[in-house]
Amino acid sequence: MEKSIKTIEELGGRIFFTSTACMSVWADALSWANKYQERIAKEPAEADHIVILSCQVTDLAVLNDFRTLDKYRRQYPDKKYFISGCLAKRMDIPVPAGAERLELPRADYQPIEDRTLIRFEPPFWVHDFDSEDKEFEQGHLFRNMYPLRIGKGCPFNCTYCTIRFTRGKFAKYDVYARLEKEFLEHEDVLLIADSPMPDQIKEWCRLAIKHNKHISIRNIEPKIAVLCRDDLLNLARKKLLKVFHAPIQSDNEAVLKDMARDVEATFATMDLCRRLKVLGVFIATNIIIDYKDFPNDFTEVYKLYDYVSWNPLWDRQWDRKKAEERYAYYLENGNEVNNAKFFNKFTEVTVHGQKETAPSYQTVPEEPGVEKS
């Protein structure tokens, strides 16, 4: 079993990157790709190495990583293959023979001028994904926004979360003079961090107001969101908060307790989201479905949120055969069950979200003395 992990400096030649991961991983690699553009091959045929930027959040995601690897290998059997991103850090999951692990490359404070340097694979949980669809359609959220990296990793040690292993040491990027310039030079900015901290959120609310320019924020843990409640509401009142994403995982108190999550903060965050939504913010969350033997009722979550991403609980024991079965259940054969249970509700709420609550941005009248982007 391959246990070591290479660094990008050890690779010569040109590299083709493709991502099956989330925006945090994609944006990290994009920062490196923008700094070293001469090392990038936009087409796999032109590359010496092919790197899959991977996710390991569930076995479905791992299976998708490996299926993507298989797809490229079938087409380009003579290339050298690497698994990078989060799965590369899961030493308990063997990478397929012939592929190697690669530390995720990144270049701090590097603006991302060219997002086409790294391919973004279609989200595996969306059937018939069409890249031309609207930005709030399933699988599209955040995909076309400008990823402004403000941090990586997480300082907390929640037992159920693997971010502290897979995303490396927690770091906050807080040379604001550089980030502010990047913010002003790009449109539709999404702040990228695995777990943004209160001081960062507060500062970005201030900067968005200073420049009268909207932002979107993702991955705000409930216990952090409640500490920034007034700042976020203030930003929303000024129509400068476009999308707000805070993963609640569940709205069932017993489940939250079993997950050792902060129950009070979760409900307070849902309340905050209710208020943000009234102010025209598009609100998004994540849930974990099929959590042990607890009831699987997310009716209220789907009623409230404009966009819900779900993951089935996974015991973190990698077993490809089981993963194939679960993939079929959740995403293929299981569609009839799941359509009724999750997807229809999602669609209704999303359509409602688009029609009723999607705000228009940059409509706040310019105030005297406000610097315009």
Q: Which stretches of the chain bind ligand SF4, using CB under 6 A?
A: 21-22, 24-25, 55-57, 85-86, 163, 166-167, 194
The nearest distance, CB 316 to ligand SF4, in angstroms, is 11
Which is nearer to ligand SF4, 60 or 241 (by Cβ)? 60
CA-based nearest residue to 166, from 62, 251, 279: 62
The single residue listed with the structure tokens 């359609």 is 137
Distance of CA 348 to the CA centre of its chain: 23
CA 268 vs CA 202, 223, 271, 275, 302: distances in Å:
18, 9, 5, 11, 17
The nearest distance, CB 163 to ligand SF4, in angstroms, is 6
**CA dist., res. 82 & res. 100, Å (int):** 5
Give the contacts of 168 (CB within 8 A, at least 6 positions apart). Answer: 89, 104, 152, 153
The nearest distance, CB 212 to ligand SF4, in angstroms, is 31
CA 303 vs CA 232, 299, 349, 357: distances in Å:
22, 6, 6, 13
The nearest distance, CB 284 to ligand SF4, in angstroms, is 14
Which is nearer to ligand SF4, 52 or 240 (by Cβ)? 52
Beta bridge partners of 101: 5, 83
Which is nearer to ligand SF4, 52 or 208 (by Cβ)? 52
The nearest distance, CB 178 to ligand SF4, in angstroms, is 24
Which is nearer to ligand SF4, 29 or 272 (by Cβ)? 29
Which is nearer to ligand SF4, 208 or 291 (by Cβ)? 291
